[in-house]
Structure 1
């Protein structure tokens, strides 16, 4: 193995040790994690869906203002690009 590979392996060992210590502090065992994988995946999926539902309305609300302003500010640049393409 070259030096960079050993460096990556060493980092993974250190991070794994720290995460293992943190999980042990919260009384989480590897067996618990394996048995809880389906529930954990479902909880993560639900959290992502809720985040999209929460943030989606704010993105749309902001886009109502931001997109027209952006178009107005850049319409001159767009005209210039089209004019330059038509010139021989």
Structure 2
């Protein structure tokens, strides 16, 4: 699974670089695209900040439930399984 995830991440990165190079060849920059959308870098930072402020408490709450359940299942698993 890790290999598949890593492979997907590498493909995503290579595609992003390739598309970025093509857009750069047409003199299109990220700042121009953001401005055309009516956003500013400060607004984007604010959106990202608010997203983390919303997601972090939910992530922690979910982890407080999931981690003990996983630990119990892991400890009660018969020897030799999952190796």
What TM-score does the superposition give when structure 1 sets the normalisation length? 0.43
What TM-score does the superposition give when structure 2 sets the normalisation length? 0.45
More helix, by proportion: 1
With CA pairs under 8 Å and 6+ residues apart, which has the higher RCO, 1 or 2? 2
Higher-Rg member (1/2): 1
